[in-house]
Amino acid sequence: MMPSDHNTTDANHGCGQRLRTAREAAGLSIQDVASRLKMPVRVVESLEAEDWSRLGAPVFIRGQLRSYGRLLGLATSTVHAASGVEPVRPVELKPRTYVPRMRIIAEQSARRLVYVVITAAIALPVWLATRPHLAPQDTVSGSLDVPVGAVGEPEASRGPTALVASMAPVPQRTAPQAAPAVAAPALEFELSDDSWVEISAPDGRVLEQTLLRAGEIRGFAAGEVGAVVLGNADAVDVRANGETQDISPYLRANVARFTVSSDGSLAPAGH
């Protein structure tokens, strides 16, 4: 049975002395206490020596003193009071002052109003100072042929007014020139459906080799085209000098091959 706190300790002793006296009275060694409390021997020695610098923060010291005191049957409050280790005090929370939303809005509105008033106080004098310079000036213009002092006099009192002829030549109007007539192309292709075409110059250069889409129209000047190959020839309307040409003599498997002379007439390819 563990001895009581009052029978084994003196009220004037520190907590380290109390713990040592109670341990010895209980017949326990420092190793026994360390084994039962599952703490290092140095910690037990530091508690009995009151060497708090080796034990860390106050919250850990008070916890170890509580465990040691309970093992020996000592009152926890007495051990804590004798140790001189201050209890851990919770952080004091300071309440925030609640500001009503309407007050915040009113303060913001007041600041904006002050800004507007200050801006108006600065801008208004500047505007008033510059306004006379910006106002249009009334001007009186009169003919240079009217004598000085004649303005404002009755018409009956005025003498005969001299007419001054202008010496500047009067520009002659010219009739608008007619726009030059645009010559119609000598050779023209109009497609009602997609068709692949190859158009070559008289010297053999390929002028166009592409797929033309339905609705497209291609025109060439006289002497510009030397040979033509039309795929899907049924969908191509060929016109030479504005007249539709019959390309059926040049068709083979719906592909037309023909040459074009300098006057726009067509001939089979190879002739």
Domain assignment of residue 67, yes or no: yes
Per the model's pLDDT, the better-predicted residue between 71 and 147 turns out to be 71
Of the candidates 188, 222, 228, the one whose C-alpha atom is nearest the C-alpha of residue 206 is 228
Is residue 138 domain-resident?
no
Can you give the CATH number for the domain in which 78 is found? 1.10.260.40
Res 68: pLDDT: 78
The pLDDT value given to residue 255: 93
| 139-153, 162-176, 228-242, 254-268: least confidently modelled range | 139-153
In this structure, is residue 205 part of a structural domain? Answer: yes
C-alpha distances in angstroms, 95 versus 92, 98, 164? 10, 9, 97
Number of domains in the chain: 2
Provide DSSP, 114-180.
Answer: HHHHHHHHHHHHHHHHHHHHHSPPP-----TTSPTT-TTS-GGGS-PPPP----SPPPPP-PPPPPP
Structural domain includes residue 241: yes
Which tokens sit at 237? 């309307």
Of 83, 98, 117, the residue that ends a domain is 83
Residue 141 lies in a domain: no
Whether residue 221 is contained in a domain is answered as yes
Whether 142 has a pLDDT exceeding 60, the answer reads no
The domain boundary, picked from 42, 59, 83, lies at: 83
To the nearest whole number, what is the mean pLDDT of the chain? 76
Task: With respect to residue 155, please indicate whether it lies within any of the assigned structural domains.
Answer: no
Compute, in degrees rounded to 10, the torsion defined by CA atoms 183, 187, 191, 197.
-130
Range of the domain at 257: 187-268
Residue 93 placed within a domain: no
Residues 43-66 have a mean pLDDT of 81
88-135 pLDDT, tens digit per residue, is 565 566 666 667 888 999 999 999 999 899 998 898 888 888 876 565
The mean-pLDDT minimum among 7-16, 45-54, 90-99, 148-157 falls in 148-157
Q: Would the pLDDT of 151 be above 80?
A: no
Q: Is 186 helix (H, G, I), strand (E, B) or coil?
A: coil
